[in-house]
Structure 1
Amino acid sequence: MHSLTPTTQATPTNLSGLWIPLVTPFHDGAVDHNALHTLTARMKLAGVTGFCACGSTGEAAALSHEEEDAVLATILNAASGLPVIMGASDCHMGRMLERVEQLNAQPINALLVPPPSYIRPSQAGLLQWFTRIADASRHPIVIYDIPYRTGATLELQTLRTLAAHPNIIAIKDCGGDAAKTQALINDGQLQVLAGEDVQIFSSMSLGGSGAIAASAHGHTEQFVALVKLLAAGRVNEARALWYPLLPHIHASFEEPNPAPIKAYLARQGWMRAEMRAPMIEASNALVERMLQIRMPELREAA
């Protein structure tokens, strides 16, 4: 039995589609809110489903909570009605629940929550972690399964147990386990969003709900068209877009994310390539290769 602390339980949310986990632009060490607003507005015009604020691509680990709140405010303003998922992470239960309580007041659509980093709890500990957060949140929870960042592996049975919680509705799947991905999609209890960009085609072809794709900051219209075609079951047409996108996807993660995509956007004039230490800017050679990648023209039918 789950007893939600908030007086109202979050209503089910359809997260199908293409979500952009927005980078956080910087200028001389501070968040560049003008660049962030412009970038968000541009992504909206390209037809994305919505945005993720303050995830790993947004360098949330390098932001204070005050900066995170300011970033969220800018994105909400620029999104002007498109849904926004907010990242929330910590390795301390008390601090995490305090953060969830703060975010309960925000007009967001869901929280993106990973396991606690560095701790490596047992499966029972992970069940407790996500259950207490889901109980405390007014917003639906998207589990962020990313063991190579957190050090914690969520087993299939653990995810199936969590899926029974009425406030846990989806998973950002970076788990690297194809069998687990297929089982979750087949179960139909969680909306499965591909979090590894190279898995978008296979995940959605199997029935996944969509993707949270950092590389889709570039060639965004092609990614939008790809996800729409896959959602409609038009796999052959989607394949014609997918293979030209692969070199861009691979290049976007050839050096630590989000340095390549930030540098790519900087060369488009949208923002600076600036990172916060210990992250460093992407190499010029990589950015030059990214700029040389060409996409086929989109057809009206897409």
Structure 2
Amino acid sequence: MSIFSGIWVPVVTPFADGAVDHAALRSLVRLYAEAGVAGLVALGTTGEPAALEAAEQDAVLATILAEAGALPVLVGVSGNHVASVQARIAELNEIPVAGLLISAPYYIRPSQAGLIEYFTTLADFSRKPVVLYDIPYRTGVRLELETLLTLAAHPRIQAVKDCSGALDTTLALILDGRLQVLAGDDINLYNTLCMGGTGAIAASAHVHPERFVSLYCALREGRLDEGRRIFHTLVPLIQALCAEPNPGPVKAALAAQGMIGNELRAPMTRASGVLSERLRHLITA
């Protein structure tokens, strides 16, 4: 049975005076563990891995793993040079991570046949479960339904983070049943779970994570009215946290709570003043 269900938080990488703030990172991991999330994602999009040196990435992952304890940790893996990605997977094969969150190779925009070969090659090489990360907004290429269904036959490919924005694809994957479907667009969390999806990897769950866990539990247990009520209270927050490039709004909200400094690495920028003020209002509502 795959573990990829429930609410997973793709943890930000806090900075202080330009360096990774490991103390703040440990505090965040403790917060999310205590809120009852199902797992964490290290070095996902929200963690700004492209702005981290290799040694910094390793240090961030080590801190998250050390503080997470028994809480499972997925690791984001991306690239467009197969041998380099394989080298990274070889390193991760030796580390006690729960699995790999792998996106399509960015910039290249391969054919669907090329995507099948790419993911199959990496899944063959991995000793960890693989979660496909379908995010055409960032990679420039969509994993078409037939591609996803083909990849679902691989024994190590167990789930998909679904950012396709295509309801028909989401439903078809759920009905097929071989991949666990995790909502990747936070605003689609409610409908994905109601259709039979297993959870979400939700950047918005950085803020009031216990409410997201309550939403998941209500829907899992069939309390639809309660789940709908919780979701409706979360919608303004989700919309604000997704209003500007990720993770700017998330970091602004966490900074307003005193959890981290409001720092990002260029070319990422802080959330605008207007949005930051809106977030300060929402997190106290």
**Cα distance, 1:28 vs. partner?**
1.5
Number of aligned residue pairs: 285
- Which one-letter code corresponds to 1:149 in the other structure? R
**Cα distance, 1:152 vs. partner?**
1.1
SS at match of 2:45: coil
1:257 matched to 2:228? The reply is no
Residue 238 (structure 1) aligned to one of 227, 242, 249: 227
Question: Residue deviations 1:69-112, cap 9 Å, x none?
Answer: 11011011111110000011101111111111111011000100
In structure 2, do the counterparts of structure 1 residues 283 and 259 end up closer, same or farther at CA, with 3 Å as the change threshold?
same
- Preserved CA contact (<8 Å) 1:245 1:295: no
Q: 1:279 — aligned with what?
A: 268
Q: 1:86 — aligned with what?
A: 75
In 2, Cα distance between equivalents of 1:140 and 1:44: 22
In 2, Cα distance between equivalents of 1:62 and 1:294: 27
Residue 115 (structure 1) aligned to one of 104, 108, 114: 104
In 1, Cα distance between equivalents of 2:271 and 2:3: 35
Q: 2:60 — aligned with what?
A: 71
| Larger fraction in helix | 2
In 2, Cα distance between equivalents of 1:30 and 1:294: 27
SS at match of 1:39: helix
**Cα distance, 1:295 vs. partner?**
7.7
SS at match of 2:118: helix
- Preserved CA contact (<8 Å) 2:253 2:283: no
SS at match of 1:98: helix
Residue 157 (structure 1) aligned to one of 146, 149, 162: 146
**Cα distance, 1:284 vs. partner?**
2.2
- Which one-letter code corresponds to 1:38 in the other structure? S
In 2, Cα distance between equivalents of 1:175 and 1:33: 33
- Which one-letter code corresponds to 1:266 in the other structure? A
Residue 124 (structure 1) aligned to one of 103, 113, 120: 113
Residue 289 (structure 1) aligned to one of 271, 278, 281: 278
In 2, Cα distance between equivalents of 1:295 and 1:212: 23
- When normalised by structure 1's length, the TM-score is 0.92
In 1, Cα distance between equivalents of 2:281 and 2:212: 18
In the TM superposition, 1:68-217 aligns within 5 A as 68-217=57-206
Please provide the CA RMSD for this pair: 1.1
SS at match of 1:293: helix
Q: For structure 2, list consecutive stretches of 5 or more residues without a partner in the other structure.
A: none
SS at match of 1:87: strand
**Cα distance, 1:15 vs. partner?**
1.1
SS at match of 1:37: helix
Q: For structure 1, list consecutive stretches of 5 or more residues without a partner in the other structure.
A: 1-11, 297-302
